[in-house]
Amino acid sequence: MPEMPVDWRHQMVEMIRGAEDLSPEWFTGGPVLSPLEQISVYRRQWNLRIYDAIEEEIPGLAGLLGEECDETIRAYMRDYPPSDWTLDRVADNLPRWLQERGAPTAQLEMISLDLAVQNGFSAAAGATLRPEDLLTMPPLRLQPHVTLLRFTHNVHWLRSTSTPADGEEVLELEAGDYPVVVFRRGIKMRHWEMDLGAWAVLKGIDDGLGVEGAIEQAFNKDWLDPENLGANIQKWFVDYAERNLLEVAD
């Protein structure tokens, strides 16, 4: 058996996660397994665990891919061996990987929704916005669990009905304009398809423009209906507060 290198622990990790070729010369083998089979056992177990973790994070994309999901995950694992300490991050490079491979827009939108749900579930909870906070209109920002997305396909509805109940209509992929906010309520993640104006104001706040700047930007982009604008904005902020989408910025 050759002398073990000083960094053998690091090399072992790289082999197991698939970033380096297996090196059976470090193992003695035995009556049942060869040296290569010994190290292969660790890699197979690792791959199974990572596969399960990725599949759990992407239920929407898995439903969209259907039978192609298995090979897609395995190809992604070959190209992007996981390197983070937590299984919550194993799918983080999937949007980039899909884009590199020229995936359809619907798949890119669905994975962005899957990851927004995953990240929002584990995000911190900021301070709840109180009605009196809005009297002086302080600087605001999105809650940590909130993500704004604007889809060109109804992927949010497909994700929520990926396993329809008996007799329930199976939705088809449809093109359109779908402004969506993903947020957490209690211990559950939700999505809300919004009026474009309501979404645009939140987008401006997320861009750091402040409330007035957000309204002005949305107005300049023709994302707001000038008729009944004041009443609409008042209603939107009630909706934001009811869903706990905003907090006062430090």
Using pLDDT thresholds of 50, 70 and 90, give the confidence band for residue 7: low
Q: Which of 103, 136, 160 is the last residue of a domain?
A: 103
Rounded-to-integer distance, Cα 143 and Cα 200, Å: 16
Please compute the mean of the pLDDT values over residues 103-122 and round it to a whole number: 96
Q: Which of 63, 82, 103 is the last residue of a domain?
A: 103
Report the amino acid identity of residue 223.
Answer: W
Residue 3 pLDDT greater than 70, yes or no: no
Mean of all residue pLDDT scores within the chain: 85
SS3 184: strand
Between CA 167 and CA 175, with CA 173 as vertex, the angle to 5 degrees is 140
Number of domains in the chain: 2
Residue pair 150/179 in contact by the 8 Å Cβ criterion = yes
For the chain, the C-alpha Rg in angstroms (whole number) is 24
Residue pair 221/200 in contact by the 8 Å Cβ criterion = yes
Same domain, 147 and 187: yes
Same domain, 162 and 224: yes
The reported pLDDT for the residue numbered 164 is 47
Structural domain boundaries, residue 27: 1-103
Same domain, 99 and 64: yes
Rounded-to-integer distance, Cα 185 and Cα 187, Å: 6
Rounded-to-integer distance, Cα 227 and Cα 141, Å: 26
Same domain, 132 and 152: yes
Q: Which of 103, 128, 149 is the last residue of a domain?
A: 103
Residue pair 120/157 in contact by the 8 Å Cβ criterion = no
Rounded-to-integer distance, Cα 77 and Cα 55, Å: 12
Same domain, 85 and 171: no
> pTM of the full predicted structure?
0.81
Residues 137-178: tens digit of each pLDDT: 778 999 999 999 999 999 999 998 765 444 555 578 999 999
Mutual angle of helices 196-206 and 229-242, in 10-degree steps:
70
Same domain, 75 and 143: no
Same domain, 99 and 132: no
The reported pLDDT for the residue numbered 222 is 85
Burial of 23-62, coded b for 16+ CB within 10 Å and e otherwise, reads bbebbeeeeeeebeebbbeeeeebbeebbebbeebbbbbb
Residues 209-248: tens digit of each pLDDT: 988 999 999 888 888 877 778 888 889 998 998 999 999 8
Same domain, 143 and 53: no
Within 10 A of 131 (CB to CB), how many other CB atoms are there? 9
Within 10 A of 86 (CB to CB), how many other CB atoms are there? 9
